[in-house]
């Protein structure tokens, strides 16, 4: 079916986006069950999907706060995550006031954007480069990361997350992950045509690392890496 073939294209182009993968998987299953699908049926599907999942970040945040005391804690954050934004908006409403240690998250430096968002929520925010974490580790109680994908053995997040997690393991400090259950990827449901190293990330612009790289230099720039769940104390979802 032409529509199913078209839906395969964004899935292949953006393999690290679990929410897109989840939505397209459910949409494809819906189309297979309704081969003569109309515009009205598609609209109803989209509305139903949105209503089903629109509050999951909120529920995940509530679940974390019900099981983890963050008041007065010093929390390391890495990269920029909508799940983290949601959590701290909820903490601001509840007058929970941790101290935030936010990494720059190079080379794209998206951690600076998250620092601005959390500062606007009136939190005490410290910004530093992730390579200097060992200098501040004694001031930090725990690390909290979002996730781009969740497997049963690992999760995917911004590069730099794995060395940060190993550093926290060395100093015997806990690491937590906050994500929606939609981020979970069932490897059995992935097409056999997908690379075994799913997701197969394409290199990012070399200029982010080196403004004018010489032709003979091999510049490698990637945004994502896998982190074993064995290094994580707990994952919080809406479940």
List beta partners, residue 234.
Answer: 176
Answer for the pair 226, 156: CB distance below 8 angstroms, yes or no.
yes
| Separation CA 4–CA 126 (nearest Å) | 47
| pTM of the entire predicted model | 0.85
Position 237 pLDDT exceeds 90: yes
Position 11 pLDDT exceeds 70: no
Q: What average pLDDT score do residues 170-180 get?
A: 97
| Separation CA 106–CA 104 (nearest Å) | 6
The structure tokens 């393999």 sit at 15
For the ranges 6-15, 168-177, 230-239, the lowest mean pLDDT is seen at: 6-15
Q: Angle formed by the axes of helices 82-93 and 111-120, to 10°?
A: 20
Q: Which domains does the chain have, with CATH numbers?
A: 56-183+222-236 (3.40.50.10470)
pLDDT of residue 196: 46
> E strands of the chain, at which residues?
74-77, 99-103, 124-128, 142-145, 149-150, 154-158, 175-178, 224-228, 234-236
Position 192 pLDDT exceeds 60: no
pLDDT of residue 12: 66
- The better pLDDT of the pair 1, 107 is held by 107
% pLDDT > 90, the chain = 59
The structure tokens 């490698």 sit at 220
Q: What average pLDDT score do residues 169-197 get?
A: 77
Position 126 pLDDT exceeds 60: yes
Position 110 pLDDT exceeds 70: yes
- The better pLDDT of the pair 223, 51 is held by 223
Q: Which of 84, 124, 131, 123 lies closest to 105 in space, CA to CA?
A: 131
Q: What is the 3-state secondary structure (H, E, C) of 197-232?
A: CCCCCCCCCHHHCCCCCCCCCCCCCCCEEEEEHHHC
Answer for the pair 229, 154: CB distance below 8 angstroms, yes or no.
yes
Answer for the pair 181, 237: CB distance below 8 angstroms, yes or no.
yes
List beta partners, residue 170.
Answer: none
pLDDT of residue 28: 79
Q: What average pLDDT score do residues 97-113 get?
A: 96
pLDDT of residue 4: 63
Which pLDDT band holds residue 195 (cuts at 50, 70, 90)?
A: very low
Position 194 pLDDT exceeds 70: no
Q: What average pLDDT score do residues 112-123 get?
A: 98
Mean of pLDDT over the chain: 88
- The better pLDDT of the pair 74, 210 is held by 74
């Amino acid at each position: 079916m032409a529509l199913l073939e078209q839906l395969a294209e964004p899935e292949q182009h953006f393999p690290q986006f679990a929410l897109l993968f989840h939505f397209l998987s459910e949409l494809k299953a819906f189309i297979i069950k309704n081969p003569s699908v109309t515009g009205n049926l598609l609209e109803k599907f989209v509305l139903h999907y949105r209503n089903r999942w629109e509050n999951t970040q909120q529920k995940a945040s509530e679940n974390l706060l019900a099981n983890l005391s963050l008041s007065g804690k010093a929390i390391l954050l890495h990269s920029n995550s909508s799940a983290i934004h949601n959590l701290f908006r909820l903490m601001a409403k509840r007058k929970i006031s941790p101290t935030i240690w936010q990494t720059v998250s190079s080379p794209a430096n998206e951690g600076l954007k998250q620092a601005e968002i959390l500062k606007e929520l009136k939190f005490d925010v410290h910004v530093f480069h992730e390579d200097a974490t060992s200098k501040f580790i004694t001031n930090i109680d725990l690390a909290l990361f979002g996730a781009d994908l969740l497997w049963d053995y690992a999760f995917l997040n911004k590069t730099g997350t794995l060395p940060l997690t190993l550093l926290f393991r060395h100093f015997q400090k806990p690491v937590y992950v906050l994500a929606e259950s939609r981020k979970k990827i069932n490897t059995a449901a992935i097409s056999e045509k997908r690379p075994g190293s799913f997701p197969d990330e394409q290199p990012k612009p070399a200029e982010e690392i080196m403004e004018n790289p010489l032709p003979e230099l091999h510049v490698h720039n990637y945004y994502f890496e896998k982190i074993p769940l064995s290094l994580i104390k707990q994952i919080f979802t809406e479940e």
